[in-house]
Chain A
């Protein structure tokens, strides 16, 4: 119990250290450049305090409960015995059926950690406010989470197969550009942003453990070189899934409108 409290204080101090430069910049500019009193200062400070304490609780809870278990699972699922790897063999041809659980785990952990990602919640709340409710908070988060889960599953396949990372990413860029041409303009900026926000406090540690576990156990892969790249996948695929979500909902809205017009004509 005492250890838990001490750990919490460590987490709290670490969070305060992270927030300090931001607070210094904000108040510095507010006082010396804008030279205005901050409206509702008291409320803002309380809000900041909530953010700091909330994040400290959040990180402490993750460290205590989910990260150890999640990392252990990533290690067990990528262990040579589980994957059916003969460590004495010189040549190695991956047998897809040993890896099915790895891919399913990658997709599932990508989806579930993204749903809990605080910065994505923030962007979804903002998008909902700005669009006057047209962009649903849950809808956007699920669309992003589906993108991350596809991305991470494909990323683990890349590590298993040992194909170069940049082929996948460049192909992804081409798809994103083509989608940009046909997606409703209002959603494009939001879709691009959702790529960057998906990977922070919850997703990165678990996904990194998975990538490093795979790259260090599969013969011929170097964890230093092949262990990376999953985050890149996780930040590219949500862009596609959010634009796809916008296209689908536009298509659906148009269909309903058309049906209504048709029934009026009859």
Chain B
């Protein structure tokens, strides 16, 4: 029944604003109750599946690659995981379509449907590529034991630098694209991969070295999307 506790804050917030601030009755109470029940059931099932499915497979694969000892295949896997999970991400598809409209409104591209769709697809591939690279570099970091904050600070410097050159229209969407790329299924898998790797590579600590892959994956899209905005 932890899931009920997880959901209570949203229900309290929405109830308070609807009844006290906006002073309106809650419409479709029955729908609301059924929907909330579905959310609670779904969250409970998801967390159970997380512990029996996603976490174990991530760690098993990390151990498998460590045993095999081939860095090439490990990095290929890291890239494929980042690219493959991002390119089909619904939130990214929505953001890319929005960015296409912005570009057309700002006369960066022709205002035709083909041009907008091309722009959106290019953007999606760019972001997926950047997430693939991010996971690749992040995995390499775990193997080599580089300190995370150097890479993150380097990434921040990259974001700041690109902000100076990128067209202003693209900046908002670029900054947001960092947050939306990492989905509910990718995050547990990638976290388990990082933790599994750092516990099988000698001399790495799962807590200090295992985390950080998600941080990369939300940083590189910002740089790449601004770069995409500059090139086109």
A contact set with B: CB distance below 8 Å: 4, 14, 17-22, 24-26, 29-30, 33-34, 36, 38-40, 43-66, 69-70, 73, 76-77, 101, 105, 108-109, 111-113, 115-116, 118-119, 121-123, 125-127, 130-131, 135, 165-166, 169-170, 173, 176-177, 180, 185-186, 188-190, 192-193, 195-202, 204, 224-232, 234-235
Contact = CB atoms under 8 A, between A and B. Distances in A.
Interface in B61-85: 61, 64-65, 68, 73, 76-77, 80-81, 84-85
Interface string B15-27: 0111001100011
14 contacts: A25-B85, A29-B77, A44-B56, A50-B46, A51-B49, A108-B13, A121-B6, A173-B160, A180-B153, A189-B212, A192-B149, A195-B218, A196-B179, A204-B180
B78 to A, nearest CB: 10
Contacts, number: 342
Contact of B214 (A45, A58, A121, A196): A196
Chain B contact surface mostly: helix
B84 A57 contact: no
Q: Is the interface of A mostly helix, strand, loop or mixed?
A: helix
B85 to A, nearest CB: 5
Nearest to A69: B14
Interface residues of B, number: 104
B150 to A, nearest CB: 10
A64 B34 contact: yes
B191 A122 contact: yes
B7 to A, nearest CB: 6
B210 interface: yes
A69 B211 contact: no
A29 B105 CA distance: 43
Given A121-B6, A232-B175, A57 B38 contact: yes
